[in-house]
Amino acid sequence: MSIRRVVTSHDAAGRSILTEDAPVRRSHDYKHIKGFSTALVWSTQRVPAVPNEGMDPTQAVTSFLPEPGGTKFIIVTFPPDSVMMSESFDPVAAGQEYMENLPGLAERFEMDNPGMHTTDSVDYGILLDGEIWLELDDGKQVHLKRHDMVIQNGTRHAWRNKSDKPTTIAFVLIGAQRVEKS
């Protein structure tokens, strides 16, 4: 996936300047899941600082999940579910590729219920292209189309692409602290 990232900052006099206009560096097209790709576009710590000093905050990222108060901006292209249902699909190799390229998030996927996962984050999702189904705990599925938006409040869910075309979603994950109900 080739995504152009344009980053601004400030010069010594405090004027706005362009500091980057280049492809996203933390992008991966998956070999073992044809049509699946992820790109970590940007990342902030608990309290973002401005101006940005020209550093790429994605290079030091060790987890695709943000700490409480931090953020991650991720673009994901989901292939049709039929890719994972084909005889040539190797779930072990795919799982290893997830672990290598989606640290922090890959560990949240449930082995007994493929695709289902829970994160300690509030996620804003904007469907950029295609269509997809959001599955929740009770098996209820919500059909989403281009330009629909989802606010995912730390709930257990999965993404199901029942169509025959890829689907691309932009996510902003905001790290949250899970509060257990008494």
pTM equals 0.92
Please state the domain extents for the chain.
27-175
Q: Are 98 and 108 in contact (CB under 8 A)?
A: no
pLDDT at 129: 97
Cα–Cα dist 129/145, whole Å: 8
Q: What 3-state class would DSSP assign to 73? A: strand
CATH fold of 27-175 reads Jelly Rolls (2.60.120)
What does the chain come to in residues?
182
Query: What would the pLDDT profile of 3-24 be if each residue is shown by its tens digit?
Result: 999 999 888 898 999 999 999 9
DSSP result, 138-178: TS-EEEEETT-EEEEES--EEEE--SSS-EEEEEEEEE---
Query: What would the pLDDT profile of 88-140 be if each residue is shown by its tens digit?
Result: 999 899 999 999 999 999 999 998 998 999 999 999 999 999 999 999 998 89
Q: How far is CA 44 from CA 57, 73, 177, in A?
A: 7, 9, 16
Sorted by sequence, the CB contacts under 8 Å of residue 117 that are 6+ apart come out as 105, 108, 109, 110, 156, 157, 158
Count CB atoms within 10 A of the CB of residue 113.
11
Cα–Cα dist 174/171, whole Å: 10
Strands 37-44 and 167-175 turn out to be unpaired
**What average pLDDT does range 60-77 have in this prediction?**
95
pLDDT at 157: 97
